[in-house]
Amino acid sequence: MKYKQFLLLLLLGIFVSGCTTVKVTQFSKKEIKKRIDHDLVKMFEAQEPITKPVTLEEAIARALKYNLDHRVKLMEIAVAQRIHEVTNFNMLPMLALDAGYNERSNEYGGSSQSLLTGRESLEPSTSQERRYHTVGLNLVWNVLDFGISHVSAEQKGNQVMIAKERRRRVVQNITKDIHDAYWRAVAAQRLLQPVANLLKEAQSARKRSHLLEQKGLQNPEIALNYQKRLLETVRQLLKLQEELTLAKDQLAALINIRPGSHYELALPKADQIPQLRLSLKELESLALLNQPELREEDYIKRVDQLEVKKRFLRMFPGLELSLGTERSSNKFLFNKSWNNVGLRVTWNLLNVFMGGPAAKREAESHVVLSDHRRMALTMAVLTQVWISYQRYQLALEDFKLAKELDSINHKLKTLTSNALKAKVRNELDVIFMQTQALMSRINKEISYAELQSGVANIYHAVGIDPLPKTFTAHEILTFEETKKYMEPADNPKVIEGLSDLVKELSAFTKEIGAGNVR
């Protein structure tokens, strides 16, 4: 018998140890490749194709609709809302249905002994069958748990608002980055071809000079100095070409276009200087009112205050109300079904005198910390507005100087070209002057891009939303598309509506330029 018990325990131990041992295997190359192919398809599918030159407004609209970082923030809002919905259910009472089947290997029974004589006062008997089943339905409601769950639901509701403020900041970041990348890409589209042409001309002149040197038709010292200046010019042009080429790639990444794809930008007819019609004091007031980080801190403080309330509630006794009905198949019972009602009070006294006050003080310290953190952030916001404002002023002056210098170099280039025709100047002087003129034009374009970026930085520091208040998250990333990411479909539908969004963004961008946005 003991041998059988030992063998049974040994087999049970082997079974349990086998169940608790989980082996983790590496992903195979086939599985990794399948994941890569899936991601590459999902990243760029269901996007409206680019069929015409992209404007600034359309670039912003495409970024807000297709940018992956923005989609992440939308999903964070959706998750926070789901958590809030689930938390609300915690306030409901518990309705428990239980059913069971019981069986014994022998009879349940017992005898009793007299306390006076010590003799058995009742022969062994049973009041329970060897096999019986029970069914019960009970409603239990704890008043203290209801109060704590209500506070927790409020906290989760504030977490939803925090997620929305973080999404606002992502939208503002994307808009700022689009402004910066778009105007640099405009400069690239304007200048890449002239740079390529001049680079080709400089390379050709260098080869001709090298050929003349080899044939002894040119003084070696003059030829080497000539080639040296040409190489320096070529090096400058190659560096500029690299910087300009990367600008469109950066913009493509922001609007979620596959790297290496060709697309054109809608070039503005003239360089209009953006005017800032708000004073520094007005900008500071708007920043303190609109900054997502400051609003987020307000919600965080509210969450911390609710945590203080929750810690305080935990020090009170719990009042539990119960109501239910039960039934048993036990034939020995006189009443096989019955209703019950109960009232129970539980109170952890140690929590009142020891843990509760300490936990409450800890929660209150978080409230004080959030106040200090918000004030520090306020100082950072004011500094950011001031720096952005000063940078805009400096960028404005720099653009005016770059524009004037570009005009002078353009006139010098014309004079040098005319002198070459009159055989007063040589080819190197013309190429050098063309390079200087092109460099000054590039500096002017980059300076203009920095000026536009400076305006975008101001509105980013102020925290103004680039979207009208009538738009919701589901109108940028439509309901069907949002549902696709929560419940992936095999054949998602392409949702039209980008044109309306572009029109709204265009009007809103014009309001920003006019300084009418408050």
pLDDT band of 517, cuts 50, 70, 90: very low
Residues 190 and 500: their CA atoms lie apart, in Å, by 29
Backbone angles phi, psi at 465, to 5 degrees: -75, 135
Q: What is the share, in percent, of the chain residues with pLDDT greater than 90?
A: 4
Specify the residue for token string 């960028």: 395
What is 329-366 written as a DSSP string? --TT-S-SEEEEEEEEEE--HHIIIIIHHHHHHHHHHH
* Winning range, highest mean pLDDT, from 188-197, 211-220, 379-388: 379-388
DSSP element (H, E) containing 369: helix 356-421
- Distance from the Cα of residue 3 to its chain's centroid: 64
Tell me how far apart the alpha carbons of residues 238 and 236 are, in angstroms, rounded to a whole number: 6
| Per-residue pLDDT at 189 exceeds 60 | yes
Tell whether the model's pLDDT for residue 280 goes beyond 80: yes
Average pLDDT over residues 440-466: 85
Count H helices and E strands in the chain, helices first: 14, 6
Q: What is the pLDDT of residue 269?
A: 73
> Measured between alpha carbons, how far is 42 from 170 in angstroms, rounded to an integer?
21
DSSP run (H or E) holding 188 = helix 143-214
Distance, CA of 518 to CA of 509 (rounded, Å) = 13
User: β-strand 94-103 against 337-346: which pairing, if any?
Assistant: unpaired
Return the beta strands (E) in 209-336 as ranges.
318-328
pLDDT averaged over every residue in the chain = 77
The stretch 133-137 carries a mean pLDDT of: 89
Residue 219 — very low, low, confident or very high, per pLDDT cuts 50/70/90?
A: low
Distance CA(321)–CA(252), nearest Å, equals 62
pLDDT value, residue 482? 39
CA gyration radius, the chain: 38
Nearest to residue 187, comparing CAs of 399, 415, 492?
Answer: 399
pLDDT 10s digits, 20-57: 556 777 888 888 888 887 777 776 666 677 778 888 87
CA 375, CA 362: separation in Å to the nearest integer?
20
**Residue 87 structure tokens:** 């938390």
- Please report, rounded to a whole number, the percentage of residues in the chain having pLDDT higher than 70: 80
pLDDT per position as a tens digit, 468-508: 554 444 444 434 443 443 333 333 333 334 444 445 445 54
Bigger pLDDT: 323 or 419? 323
Structure tokens at 446: 């980059």
Amino acid, res. 442 = I
Strand 131-142 relative to strand 337-346, pairing: unpaired
For residues 448 and 87, the model is more confident at 448
CB 498 within 8 A of CB 61: yes
More confident residue, 305 or 239: 305
440, pLDDT greater than 60? yes
CB atoms within 10 A of CB 186: 23
For 85-109, the pLDDT digits (tens) are 777 777 778 888 888 888 888 888 8
Superfamily of domain 56-99+132-463+490-514: Outer membrane efflux proteins (OEP) (1.20.1600.10)
pLDDT at residue 163 tops 50: yes
Lowest mean pLDDT among 88-102, 150-164, 302-316: 88-102
Amino acid 507: pLDDT? 52
Tell me the backbone φ, ψ of residue 136, rounded to 5 degrees: -145, 150
pLDDT recorded at residue 489: 33
Pick 457 or 9 by higher pLDDT.
457
Q: Residues 199, 205, 207, 209: is their CA dihedral positive or negative?
A: negative
Mean pLDDT for the stretch of residues 121-133: 82
The residue assigned the tokens 């900054």 is 291
- Residues 394 and 463: beta-carbon distance below 8 Å: no
Can you give the pLDDT at residue 19?
58
pLDDT computed for residue 70 by the predictor: 67
Pairing type for strands 120-128 and 108-113 reads antiparallel
Which residue in 91, 28, 190, 73 sits closest to 473, CA to CA? 73
* Burial category of 27 from C-beta neighbours within 10 Å (exposed 0-12, middle 13-18, buried 19 and up): exposed
- Extract the tokens encoding 408: 């002078």
Section 118-143 average pLDDT: 84
Residue 514 scores a pLDDT above 60 = no
Lowest-confidence pick of 73-82, 211-220, 419-428, 504-513 = 504-513
- Each as own residue / partner, the long-range contacts of residues 333-341 (CB below 8 Å, 24 or more positions apart, any chain) are 333/127, 340/138
Q: What is the pLDDT of residue 16?
A: 62
C-alpha closest to that of 396 among 439, 438, 437, 457: 457
Give tens-digit pLDDT for 386-430. Answer: 999 999 999 999 999 988 998 888 888 888 777 777 666 666 677
